[in-house]
Amino acid sequence: MPEFTSPSAFDTDAVTTYCINFVAEMLERAPADIDPNAKFSRIGFDSAMSVQLIVALEQFLDVELSPDLIDSFPTIASLSAHLAKARAQLPKDA
Which tens digits make up the pLDDT trace of 51-81? 999 999 999 888 889 989 999 999 999 999 9
pLDDT range class, residue 1, cuts 50, 70, 90: very low
Q: pLDDT tens digits, residue range 29-49?
A: 999 999 999 999 999 999 999
pLDDT at position 80 is 93
pLDDT of 86? 76
Domain 9-88, CATH: 1.10.1200.10
> In this model, does residue 91 exceed pLDDT 80?
no
Do residues 60 and 18 touch, judged by C-beta distance below 8 A? yes
SS3 of 1, please? coil
Instruction: Decide if pLDDT at 6 tops 60.
Output: no
- Measured distance CA(93)–CA(16) in Å, rounded: 23
39 in helix, strand or coil?
Answer: strand
